[in-house]
Amino acid sequence: MKFFMIINGRKIKQYMVIVFAAFFAAALAFLSQEQLAVFSSKDGPRAIYKGEEKGNKVALTFDISWGEKRALPILDILKAEGVKNCTFFLSAAWAERHPEVVDRIVKDGHEIASLGYQYKSYTEFEDQQVKRDILTAQEKLKKVSGKLTSLLRPPNGSFDKRVLNISEDLNHTVVHWSVDTKDWKNPGVDKIVQNATADVKAGDIILLHASDSVKQTHKALPNIIQKLKSDGYKFVSVTEMIANTQANSKEVQ
C-alpha cells in the first residue's frame, strides 16, 4: 500500500508539472497575442517595422488624420533643423481638406504615404471596403500631392493577415514601427524625447504624430532631432530605409 501511494504521489507531481507548464504556456501565448497579434503567424504576408541595422539610419514618420494647427509648426521645425526625408502618413480625406499643407510637405522634401481614406480600422471592414479605401486613398493623395503612394500604414496601426493580403494584391507595403513615442498621449515633452531616443538603434522606424491631438510633439521635436544627430544618426525616408536592404519584417496572422 505504501508503494502504491508513492507511485501515485510521483504521478500527481508529474501531472502538476504538466498542468503548470500548460498554464504558463497558455498565459505566455495570451500575452504575446495581446502585444504582438499583428506579427504572430508562421506563414503569410509580412509588415515592415524596421530597416536594416547598418548605416546609422533612422526614419521619422508622422501620422496625420485631422486638424491643421500642429502640422505646419512641425514642418517649420524640421526645416529649421535641416531635416528632410521624413515620411508623412496622411489620411487622404484629411489631405483633401488641407492641400496647402500637403504641398508644403512635398516642397520641403518629405515623403507622402497613405494612412487610408476614412481613417477607420481595416480589421472592422469587409474585404471590398478595405480595397476601396486603399485605392480611394491612393487616388486622392495622388491628386493632391502628385505622388503615387505605395506605402500604407493602416488606420490605428490595426491590421491582420487578411488586410496584409489585400494590401499586397494592391501593390502596397504595410509599414508599422519599431519605436513608439506615444506622443498622442501627451505625456510631457521630456517623456516624448525619452521614448523617441532612449533605445533607438540603426534601422528604427519612429512613430510620431502631427494631428491636432498632439500638443507636445512640436516642443519635443528639436530635442529629438538634436539627440539623434549627436548619436550619429542620419534621417531617411521609409522608402530609402527599406530599399535594397534586408528590412526586418514580422509575419502576420
Q: What is the pLDDT of residues 185-215, one digit of tens each?
A: 999 999 999 999 999 999 999 999 999 999 9
Q: What is the pLDDT of residue 7?
A: 31
| 137 pLDDT higher than 50 | yes
Residue of 44 and 182 predicted with greater confidence: 182
Q: Is the dihedral of CA 101, 107, 110, 112 positive or negative?
A: positive
Q: What is the mean pLDDT of the chain?
A: 85
Query: What amino acid positions are annotated as catalytic residues?
Result: 63, 209
Q: How far is it, in rounded angstroms, from Cα 92 to Cα 98?
A: 10
Q: Is the dihedral of CA 163, 175, 137, 213 positive or negative?
A: positive
Q: What is the DSSP letter of 237?
A: -
Over residues 95-110, the pLDDT tens digits come to: 999 999 999 999 999 9
Q: What percent of the chain has pLDDT over 90?
A: 73
pLDDT confidence bin for 243, thresholds 50/70/90: confident
Q: What is the pTM of this model?
A: 0.81
pLDDT confidence bin for 37, thresholds 50/70/90: very low
Listed in order, strand segments (DSSP E) in 122-186 are 151-152, 173-174, 179-180
